[in-house]
């Protein structure tokens, strides 16, 4: 299945694709532009939104800058990328909280999703 040009694959066991981390429910393979999600996590929409956040915003300077404004953002590159993905999932699952915590990031994601919606509505 393709979602915004990203291949989406559900598997019973994703450890061979995502590494042998405990409790991992999904991962994004940047080299293949593939999101892997464990079948037992398929009903948890936050997993998909988190991995989609990686796919859409990995290395995105503006998203990284806005996340770094948050008091919870970590300093390492990897931690900031995780914060971006977590925040993108929060935009869909708990939008009021994200808007309160980081209104600029909320508006940035809102605008990005709005552009995507406009594009797909006008194909």
SS3 69: coil
Q: 1.10.3470.10, 3.90.1150.10, 2.60.40.10, 3.40.390.10: which CATH number matches 2-121?
A: 3.40.390.10
Query: pLDDT at position 77, please?
Result: 74
Length of the chain measured in residues? 123
Query: pLDDT at position 69, please?
Result: 76
Element spanning 16, H or E: helix 15-18
Query: pLDDT at position 3, please?
Result: 79
Query: pLDDT at position 38, please?
Result: 93
> Which parts of the chain register pLDDT below 70?
71-75, 123
Using a 10 angstrom Cβ sphere, with 0-12 exposed, 13-18 middle and 19 or more buried, the burial of residue 26 is buried
Q: What are the sequence ranges of the domains in the chain?
A: 2-121
SS3 7: strand
CA distances from 91 to 6, 13, 76 (A): 19, 28, 22
Query: pLDDT at position 109, please?
Result: 94
């Amino acid at each position: 299945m393709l979602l915004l040009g990203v291949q989406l694959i559900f598997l019973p066991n994703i450890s061979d694709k995502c590494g042998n981390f405990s409790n991992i429910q999904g991962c994004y393979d940047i080299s293949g532009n593939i999101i892997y999600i464990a079948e037992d996590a398929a009903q948890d929409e936050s997993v998909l939104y988190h991995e989609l956040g990686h796919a859409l915003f990995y290395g995105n300077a503006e998203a990284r800058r806005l996340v770094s404004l948050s008091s919870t953002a970590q300093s390492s590159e990897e931690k900031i990328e995780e914060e971006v993905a977590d925040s993108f999932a929060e935009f869909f699952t708990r939008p009021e909280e994200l808007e309160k915590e980081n209104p600029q990031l909320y508006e940035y994601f809102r605008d990005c999703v709005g552009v995507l919606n406009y594009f797909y509505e006008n194909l």
